Structure 1
Amino acid sequence: MLATRSELIKKIRLGEDSFLELKEVRFAGDKIRGPSQNDLADELAAFANSSGGVLLLGVEDRSREVIGIELDRLDAVEALLRQACEDAIRPSLAPVIERMTLPDASGVEQPVIRVEVLHSLFVHQSPGGYMQRVGSSKRPIPPEQLARLFQQRSQSRLVRFDETPVARAMLADLDEALWRRFAPARSADAPEILLGKLAMAAHDDQAGVWRPTVAGLLMGSHVAQRFLPGAFIQAVAYQGTNVLPAGEAMYQRDVQDITGPLDRQIIDACAFVRKNMRVAAYKHAQGGREDLPQFDMLAVFEAVTNAVAHRDYSMAGAKVRLRLFDDRLELYSPGMLPNTMTPESLPFRQAARNEALTSLLARCPIDDDTLAVHRQHIMDKRGEGVSIILETSERLAGRCPEYRLNDDSELMLVIYGARME
């Protein structure tokens, strides 16, 4: 949408409409005087609640003149945009933010920021309420229209989020060697049809093209993070039992952003824990030695698998976080529990948020000999994962792991380590 310079220049001459908003960026000293974070949030949410659109920063709306933004202030403007999307819009947005140049009235190229917002599957609330784009302005959505909008969007989400096509992604962004592993050995179907049957691609009716789905990118691409910014595991091993304030002595022993296809992320996350956990060695009176690991790796494997398979990928920018301390492992998975599940009911019930994703993971062999003794494939459809986490960890450490729900937006699992004495 208005992706090229020529398209934008022509559109700017015509002025604002349902798909274009122009804003000058004003500064007072080093601080941004306007637009405010709330104003940006209202504009972006209005586009998302309507048919999408482009916000162009660095252009005066009335005169339609390209004013530009000073180069050394682009970072500050982009930071304000991110804050507006993440802190002032619910659910949050992940628009495309692009720096580019456009000619001013004298033909001199000036830096501007282009923000593209797509039509959303959700209804977004911003500081001004529930807004929509009407012509060149944003307006509150009338109550009766808002009720219909909630109903329509909830019905559209009956198609699970992991099966929805990802805007801007193309089938060429998938790695054929990765997605072919899920396809029958002999198939006469065209690639897009085959990918569609696997729920790894879907037809974008608005654009008239086939696009990878969320599940397709997560399992069939090495660069899913280009389109799904939070689709990775942030792993940190700390020195001690607490996170120290910034500026104090070094406390991070190891840090890794674990990327790639989800099955690879799971194995690499287990390797991170194995590398950084402690192992005690005991000598038997009759001779011989026994190693006692701090964590049961089968429990860690099940916990990481559940975290990446069942998280809410619609939460823009949210990532799985793995934190390893001297006495425990913490794992944070974005999203509230599906349906009516509670942390207490996890050992007794099953509810898959991402059916296409879990189906693909159930067909991935475990590429780790020490973990493959338990079963052959990553995912288990029997729903035994939580029980394994609880029982094996308690048997090793003498303390049962704990599930907690943080702010109805993140599931936290604490696995206590064995005493290394």
Structure 2
Amino acid sequence: MLDTRSELLEKIRLGEDSFFELKEVKFAGGKVRGPSQEDLADELAAFANSAGGVLLLGVENKSRTVLGIPVEQLDAVEALVRQACEDSVKPALAPIIERMTLPDLSGIEQPVIRVAVARSLFVHQSPGGYLHRVGSSKRPMPPDHLARLFQQRSQSRLIRFDETPVPRATLSELDESLWRRFAPAQSADAPEVLMAKLAMAAQDDQDVWRPTVAGLLMGSRHPERHLPGAIVQAVAYAGTDVVPTGEGAYQRDAQDITGPLDEQIRATCAFVRKNMQVAAYKRAEGGRVDVPQFDMTAVFEAVTNAVAHRDYSMAGSKVRLRLFDDRLELYSPGMLPNTMTPESLPYRQAARNEALTSLLARCPTGDDELANHRSHIMDKRGEGVSIILSRSERLSGKRPEYHLNDDSELVLTIFAARVEQAV
């Protein structure tokens, strides 16, 4: 939508409409004084509640003149847009934010910021309430319209989120070597039909073929380009706290792990293996035994569950792994599904992302040590939590703990074995 310079210049000439909003950016004392965070949130939420649209920052509305944004202020303006989407809109938005230049009246190229918002699967509330776009302005939705919109969009989510097409993503962004690994060796179907059978592609409201959420997560080298937060953020800390207690670096290692989800799982396990302590002891009868801080089979199960069952509709929220001297913490975005509780996890089974887990069940473990435990990454037996609890407790003597943060993030703590006292 309005992706090219020529399209934007023509729309500026014609002025605002249901899909297009212009805003001048004003500064005072080196700070952004307008538009406000609340105003941006209202505009972008109104687009998301309607059919989507583009907000162009750096253009005055009435005169339709390109004024630009000082280069040194672009970071501040972009940060303001992100804050508006994440802090002032519920549920949060994940727009496409692009820096580009357009000519002013003198023909001089001026920096502007283009913010594109797709039609959402959700109904969004902003500081102004529940707004939608009517022509060139945003308006509060009448109660009957709001009720219908809630009903329509809740019904659309009866299709699981991981099977929904991703706006603006194209099938060309899927790596053929990645999605073909799930397809039959011999098939006369067209590529888009094959991908649809795998739930990796679907047609949008305009009958355009798009990758699904599952398709991007398993078939793209960079799913985070369209699904912000589709990464694992791993950090190994020196000590037992994130706050440095003395001099020197308080982070021993850090990595943003990207790529298809099966590669993320393997790389996250490799990060833990590299950064945990392992003690070597001589046996009385001869030979050596290695005692690690963490049972890698339990870590594998925990990382797999976190990546496979997280809520990918929570834009910008990422799986986070924190490795300390005495414990490993794993944060997975999303509430527990189907009335499950942290206490019931070992006894019940529920898959939030069925298309995704089906694809992961066809991915080889790809790790010699872990392959002895399981040949493929996922199984459908629902034994993962029990394995995490039993194997970790056997090693460290302390049972792992699950709890919820604000009903929006599941946290698993696995306690480390005291390797210096291992026998």
Range class of TM-score, shorter chain: over 0.9
| SS of equivalent to 1:138 | strand
Task: Give the 5 Å matches for 1:142-161.
Answer: 142-161=142-161
| SS of equivalent to 2:256 | strand
Task: Give the 5 Å matches for 1:151-190.
Answer: 151-190=151-190
The aligned residue for residue 375 of structure 1 is: 374
Matched AA of 1:277: M
Task: Give the 5 Å matches for 1:238-249.
Answer: 238-244=237-243, 249=248
Please, which moves more after superposition, 99-108 or 296-305? Answer: 99-108
| SS of equivalent to 1:400 | coil
Task: Kindly indicate whether residue 266 of structure 2 is the aligned counterpart of residue 267 of structure 1.
Answer: yes
Contact 2:231 2:257 in 1 (8 A): yes
- Structure 1 residue 244: Cα displacement: 1.3
The aligned residue for residue 313 of structure 1 is: 312
Matched AA of 2:354: E
Determine the C-alpha separation between the residues in 2 that align with 1:48 and 1:20. Answer: 12
| SS of equivalent to 2:380 | coil
Determine the C-alpha separation between the residues in 1 that align with 2:349 and 2:146. Answer: 33
The aligned residue for residue 41 of structure 2 is: 41
The aligned residue for residue 251 of structure 2 is: 252
Matched AA of 1:173: E
The aligned residue for residue 55 of structure 2 is: 55
The aligned residue for residue 301 of structure 1 is: 300
The aligned residue for residue 130 of structure 2 is: 130
Determine the C-alpha separation between the residues in 2 that align with 1:366 and 1:286. Answer: 34
Matched AA of 1:270: C
Determine the C-alpha separation between the residues in 1 that align with 2:96 and 2:246. Answer: 33
* TM-score, length-scaled by structure 2: 0.97
- Structure 1 residue 284: Cα displacement: 2.9
- Structure 1 residue 246: Cα displacement: 10
Q: Alignment identity in percent?
A: 79
Task: Kindly indicate whether residue 88 of structure 2 is the aligned counterpart of residue 88 of structure 1.
Answer: yes
Determine the C-alpha separation between the residues in 2 that align with 1:286 and 1:106. Answer: 87
| SS of equivalent to 1:41 | helix
- Structure 1 residue 10: Cα displacement: 1.6
- Structure 1 residue 165: Cα displacement: 1.1
Determine the C-alpha separation between the residues in 1 that align with 2:245 and 2:11. Answer: 47
Determine the C-alpha separation between the residues in 1 that align with 2:203 and 2:129. Answer: 33
Determine the C-alpha separation between the residues in 2 that align with 1:60 and 1:397. Answer: 63
Determine the C-alpha separation between the residues in 1 that align with 2:332 and 2:404. Answer: 10
**Structure 1: any 5+ residue segments left out of the alignment?**
none
| SS of equivalent to 2:419 | coil
Determine the C-alpha separation between the residues in 1 that align with 2:211 and 2:245. Answer: 40
Contact 2:166 2:210 in 1 (8 A): yes
- Structure 1 residue 15: Cα displacement: 1.6
The aligned residue for residue 410 of structure 1 is: 409
Contact 2:329 2:411 in 1 (8 A): yes
Contact 2:335 2:409 in 1 (8 A): yes
- Structure 1 residue 354: Cα displacement: 0.4
The aligned residue for residue 289 of structure 1 is: 288
- Structure 1 residue 57: Cα displacement: 0.5
- Structure 1 residue 142: Cα displacement: 1.8
- The 3 A distance-change label for structure 1 pair 248 and 117 is farther
1:55-113 residue CA offsets vs partner (Å, 9 max, x unmatched): 01111111111111111111110010011111111111111111111122222221111
- Structure 1 residue 285: Cα displacement: 3.0
The aligned residue for residue 324 of structure 1 is: 323
Determine the C-alpha separation between the residues in 1 that align with 2:52 and 2:324. Answer: 44
Contact 2:131 2:138 in 1 (8 A): yes
- The 3 A distance-change label for structure 1 pair 274 and 54 is same
Please, which moves more after superposition, 68-77 or 283-292? Answer: 283-292
**Structure 2: any 5+ residue segments left out of the alignment?**
none
- Structure 1 residue 282: Cα displacement: 2.3
Determine the C-alpha separation between the residues in 2 that align with 1:245 and 1:228. Answer: 32
Contact 2:244 2:250 in 1 (8 A): no
| SS of equivalent to 2:281 | strand
- Structure 1 residue 247: Cα displacement: 10
Task: Give the 5 Å matches for 1:185-224.
Answer: 185-206=185-206, 208-224=207-223
Matched AA of 1:283: K
Matched AA of 1:169: A
1:13-40 residue CA offsets vs partner (Å, 9 max, x unmatched): 2221111111100000111110010110
1:321-365 residue CA offsets vs partner (Å, 9 max, x unmatched): 111000000001111111211111111111111010000001111
| SS of equivalent to 1:72 | helix
Matched AA of 1:214: V
Determine the C-alpha separation between the residues in 1 that align with 2:231 and 2:246. Answer: 27
1:230-278 residue CA offsets vs partner (Å, 9 max, x unmatched): 1111111110000115996311111111111111111111111111111
Please tell me the root mean square deviation across aligned C-alpha atoms, in Å: 1.3
The aligned residue for residue 341 of structure 1 is: 340
Task: Kindly indicate whether residue 397 of structure 2 is the aligned counterpart of residue 398 of structure 1.
Answer: yes
Matched AA of 1:279: V
The aligned residue for residue 362 of structure 2 is: 363
Determine the C-alpha separation between the residues in 1 that align with 2:252 and 2:185. Answer: 45
Determine the C-alpha separation between the residues in 2 that align with 1:270 and 1:194. Answer: 31
1:262-305 residue CA offsets vs partner (Å, 9 max, x unmatched): 11111111111111111122223333322111101000000000
Matched AA of 1:374: H
The aligned residue for residue 227 of structure 1 is: 226
Matched AA of 1:161: F
* TM-score, length-scaled by structure 1: 0.97
| SS of equivalent to 2:301 | helix
Determine the C-alpha separation between the residues in 1 that align with 2:165 and 2:131. Answer: 25
Please, which moves more after superposition, 187-196 or 4-13? Answer: 4-13
Matched AA of 1:237: A
- Structure 1 residue 372: Cα displacement: 0.7
| SS of equivalent to 1:180 | helix
